[in-house]
Amino acid sequence: MLPRGLEIGVEQDGGWPLYEVARSAGSTERRIVYLHGGTWINQISPLQWQLVLKLAADTGSRVLVPIYPLAPQGTAGTVVPQVVDLLRRLAATYGAGNVSVLGDSAGGQIALSAALLLRDLQAVLAHTVLICPALDLSLSNPAIDALEPNDKWLVRPGLRAAADLWRDGLRLDEPIVSPLFGNMDGLGPLTVFVGTRDITHPDCELLVSKAQAAGVHTIFHQAPGMVHLYPLLPIPEGRAARRTMAEILGSDP
């Protein structure tokens, strides 16, 4: 059930359902585009919708949720450019400083790949917020070896199979597939949330180091002992992360 004080609408945008969640009263130019995770093959979940509702309520922004086609119908080469086009149109209408992008897991890959491509079009977003993002789809970071036996959520064989469907023949080191390989120069403010028991953690560390070296304003939230997507879970650490996320997304860049 939709919480009191929020409204939701949906329209078709380039053949995709595009949901918009916002406070019923008041108006704002701020827009947050949220890309859900799900290993590129699973649809948006109730926990992800709960995050959308909280961000709309707490930030006062209008949160847009594109329901992109899943692999193998949807691929990096078709989905990411359409997300870029959505962000570009929003930036042209409301100003790039009023537009943020947020993604979790596979959605984090889409979000960062799109933000980098948009940067190349001379539009720098207010915030790029990543929750346990997939950054290098080769999953070849040797630091993953020690984490994988204790990660009860993610395993490399399944991720690699899904990633192969998603990249659809594109090289693993192309930034539209693995944004860790992209040039971070000129990217807007970046925030990364990840738990230390998550096999995405080593690549998140690399991303933060690379972004900081490029002069990107970067905030890194590492949660000791937390698992994949802990910011979405109904636990104290998850609630704290969601509050922090709302504060960041509700702030000026």
Provide the annotated active-site residues: 105, 198, 228
Instruction: Give the C-alpha separation, 185 to 213, whole Å.
Output: 9
106 dihedral zone (left: phi>0; alpha: psi -120 to 50; beta): alpha
The β-bridge relationship of strands 99-104 and 62-66 is unpaired
Rg, C-alpha atoms of the chain: 17
Instruction: Give the C-alpha separation, 248 to 102, whole Å.
Output: 11
Instruction: Give the C-alpha separation, 161 to 40, whole Å.
Output: 11
Q: Are 198 and 139 in contact (CB under 8 A)?
A: no
Q: Are 142 and 187 in contact (CB under 8 A)?
A: no
Tokens 């977003």 locate to 125
Instruction: Give the C-alpha separation, 87 to 125, whole Å.
Output: 9
Q: Are 106 and 130 in contact (CB under 8 A)?
A: no
The one-letter code for the residue type at 75 is T
Q: Are 116 and 183 in contact (CB under 8 A)?
A: yes
Instruction: Give the C-alpha separation, 248 to 181, whole Å.
Output: 25
